[in-house]
Every structure is written in structure tokens, then in C-alpha cells.
Amino acid sequence: MELLLDIGNSRSKACLHNSGNLTEIQLEDISAEQWLSVNAVYCSSVAADSRVSALRERVPLAIPFIQIHSEAQAFGITNSYMQPHLLGVDRWLALVAAAELYPNLDLLVVDAGTALTIDWLNAAGLHQGGWILAGQKLQQEAVLSKTAKVFSAELETEQLSPATDTATALYQGAIAALVGAIRQAYAIKAAQRIILTGGDALLLQKYLSDLPVELESRLIFQGLARYIQPN
């Protein structure tokens, strides 16, 4: 059994991998008996090194701790960055997992978290570049930090429409920006599948029902799992 760690900008997530099965778990809930069954820890981090170090201290010293980084090429995926290590490892792992789940297809891989990332991956496994936008909460915080009389609220609606109060206007404006970016990316180069993951994936999915969207909530963990048996 392996422990997979996804250390994001705003929170950390853990998952146990056992013979291909993934079970999400709180790190503090791992029992002493479970630790005895963990063969290795595989870690993905886009956070500060100090957060990785803090989590690493909670792992028994006898267990190998393997931190994954973006590569120029692996698992049939070719990184488009001139300096491959500068591609966020979360984006890299999402590409690796998406290609495994949906092989030989042109894909648009979207991770809706603190930031919204959009990456193009063609059927041959070539990463064709991507975009990074502020996520919906970050967008709202940016407006709130610069305005005195604007306040926010999370008011989910079934459709995007002109708002008649400030809180709804701010919330729907942020959602509209993200949905619009995904639609624009799809318009630039139509994909056979849009792979959607991240904390806001379910929220955005309902505004994209006319597009070929596949929801994959554990995409980063699935990418990490590829490194357990890389051949």
C-alpha cells in the first residue's frame, strides 16, 4: 500500500493506494497499523517547501518519501515548456492521468482549484500549452480587497444571469469568467473530451452541460499512482 499526498495552495489531501484502488483519508486518521502497511509515500506539492517538510515529519522515517516533479517527457506525455520543471506538478500529473484514462484523444484538462488551469493535450501525448486564471474565490477576494462597499456570498444558481444585488453579481461574475475561459479554450481547439477536476469542478460542470465534459475528482492522485509502477 502507498500513501499519496497532494499539497495544494490552500489545503493538503491524502489518499491510500492499494492495488489500484484509491481511498481518500485524513493524514491524522492513519492508524499505526496502516502505517505498517505503507510501502512508500508519493508527494505532489505546489506549496512552499516548509509545508512539505512539515508533512514529511509526520511520516515514519523508515518509509521512503518520494516527491514528484514535472518532467520533460514521461508516460508518453511530452511537456511543452522550454524549462519543464516550471510546469506546475499538479498540471503535469493531471495530464499524465488524463492521458491514461482517455488514451488517443485530444483533451482539454481543467483543474478548478485556488487557480483555474487549462491545458491542451493532443492525441499523440503532446502538451500544447495552457492558461492559468484566478479561481472563483480568489477572483472575489481580489475585488473585495480593493473595494469598500462590495461584499460576497456563495449563492449557487442554476444558470448565469444578470444579478440584481452586489453579492450575487460578484459571485456570478467570477463563475462567468471561469466558464467563459473554458468555453474559449474549447473554441480555440475543440477537444474530444474536457477533463474537469479540482474543488470547483462540480460547480462549473453544470454550466458546461452542452460540452463533452468528464468529471474526474481524483485526477492528481491518479497521476501520482502512475509513478508507483512507472513501466
The catalytic site residues sit at 90
Paired strand residues for 43: 5, 67
- Amino acid letter, residue 194: I
C-alpha 97/C-alpha 101 separation (Å) is 6
What b/e string do you get for 125-137 counting C-beta neighbours within 10 Å, with b at 16 or more? bebeebbebbbbb
Parallel, antiparallel or unpaired: strands 21-25 and 12-18: antiparallel
How far, in Å, CA of 122 to CA of 19, rounded? 29
Distances (CA, A) of 11 to 4, 47, 114: 14, 9, 10
Grid cell 456563495 in the structure block, residue: 154
Query: Does residue 33 sit in helix, strand or coil?
Result: helix
CA dihedral 154, 156, 160, 161 (to 10 degrees): -70
Cα-based distances in Å from 66 to 23, 63, 149, 231: 19, 10, 47, 17
